[in-house]
Amino acid sequence: MIQPMRLRLGALFFTLLAAPQFALASGMNLEGLGTRSVSMGGAYIGAVDDVTAVFWNPAGLAKMKGRGFSFGVYSMTPKIWDDDGASNPPLADFDPAVGDVFPAFLPNEPSQFKDEEEFWPLSATMPSLLAYKNFGRFTVAGGAFAVAGAYSDYNDVIINPNDNAEITADIFSLMALVDFNLSVGFQATEKLDIGVGVDILYSNMQSRVSKKYVQPGGDGYTFKSKPSMDGAGVQGNIGFQYDITDRVTMGAVYRTGASFDLKGDVYAGLSGTLSPLGDVEERSKTTSRFNYASSYGVGFAIQTTERLLVTLDYQVTEWGNFNWPSATQEFETEGVLLQDINNDPDWSAADTYRMGFEYDYKPGLKLRGGYSREQAGMPPEFETVTTMTIGDIQYVSFGVGLERKVWTIDLFAGTMWGNNGAGVKHVCLEGGFTLSRQF
């Protein structure tokens, strides 16, 4: 009995360690970088002509003049619903591939927790700081911005009707993925701009997981784990923009993705009078492989009138090449709870469709709006109330741009919603600003 139990407990540990990635996987880039672009639905590959080109399409840097900087903040607050709540199946049936989160160590435990909704205020709040300088036909830009970052916080308490035991489950996870970028845009011809960029991606992931089972007489068990990992990798970007006519620009971009190791420390423990393994405490160094997905896209910017710009984008993210950090995990010291694992997450490529507009309402004031739909790259059975759903996602956003001399402030507000078709859905409120200055 001990060997199967070891494998199940190992699978549990890796599932919980993966929680921060689930919260961000669909976008992993969320809606993108920059308030102007996000308020236009992220349809920006062919339209970008500001410093956020380091993310969207480095060719857009070639259109910039002078020098300047920008500082921005994006924030998102989600509410998540799950018809089933968090699962608590018997250890023999525990399977993270179908969304199981907590295992029942005792045969008479309820199969589900009761908390079917979560609300995480300001779950993803991410800053950016960018700067650029033009050198004639060249523009050099760079800076730092969060590609992804969020916390997830789930807790619930239920009573086992079979023995009146109180069962408490808790997960708190933090994840950050920060991009340090250097890019160059070049005006190759009067109509063609080309750009390249290099991203150093730094990731930090931490989780705190616990489950307690306490009978009225005090007997019970406690399970805990505390993983912490970080690491860095390199990604390349290349793009172009071509002026088809005076009013129509086409752009295309390709991101190589990145592959790197995350290293850190792990603690895991199981104890109590009802623990099937007795008291166990394990600590180890750990290494996990993180494959950040490649992507490519094409976009059009159409100046329909002197005041109205319309944009359209199509992007493919190769989530089939993605590997969440806990799918391949190695421990320096294996034990009963800490077991090496090598799983295929079974993700697939996802298509994203975006459209947006920008209207020059009057000098110094621009109005913007946009819509985006992204297909799911993640199997729906992985999604639960403990994480932000990433089924087919749609979002609508609106924004304004205010210009005064050398200063510009862009503001946006929007909502994002998704449904995995299997009882898990979410709605998010979003907002942000970017402050820019030209010299």
For every residue of 252-305, DSSP letters joined together read EEEE--EEEEEEEEEEEEEESTT-TT-SEEEEEEEEEEEEEPPEEEEEEEEE-S
151-164 mean pLDDT: 91
Among 296, 216, 211, 212, residue whose Cα is nearest residue 257: 296
User: What CA–CA distance (Å, rounded) separates 102 from 116?
Assistant: 15
The answer to whether domain 2-438 has CATH 2.40.50.140 is no
Q: Is residue 22 over pLDDT 50? A: no
> Residues 85-138: pLDDT tens digits?
788 888 778 776 566 778 888 989 998 888 888 888 988 888 999 999 999 999
Gap between the Cα atoms of 107 and 276, Å rounded: 11
Say which amino acid occupies 351: D
Structure tokens at 171: 């997960």
Count of C-beta atoms within a 10 Å radius of residue 215 = 16
Give the start-to-end residue ranges of the domains of the chain: 2-438
Say which residue the tokens 């859905």 belong to: 425
Between strands 295-303 and 341-342, the pairing is: unpaired
C-alpha to C-alpha distance for 297 and 318, rounded to whole angstroms: 11
Number of other residues whose CB lies within 10 A of the CB of residue 64: 19
Q: Residue 90 has what DSSP assignment?
A: B
Model pLDDT, residue 290? 83
Spatial contact of 310 and 369, defined as CB atoms under 8 Å apart: no
pLDDT band at 345 (very low <50, low <70, confident <90, very high): low
CB atoms within 10 A of CB 433: 15
In this prediction, residue 25 carries a pLDDT of: 38
pLDDT digit string, tens, across residues 376-432: 777 766 666 766 555 688 999 999 999 999 999 999 999 999 887 777 888 999 999
Q: Mean pLDDT, the chain, as a whole number?
A: 87
Q: Which residues of 279-313 are buried (b: 16+ CB within 10 A; e: fewer)?
A: ebebbbebbbbbbbbbbbbbbbbbbeeeeebbbbb
Mapping DSSP onto H, E and C, the string for 392-434 reads EEEEEEEEEEEEECCEEEEEEEEEEEEECCCCEEEEEEEEEEE
How much is the pLDDT for 382?
A: 66
pLDDT above 60: residue 14:
no
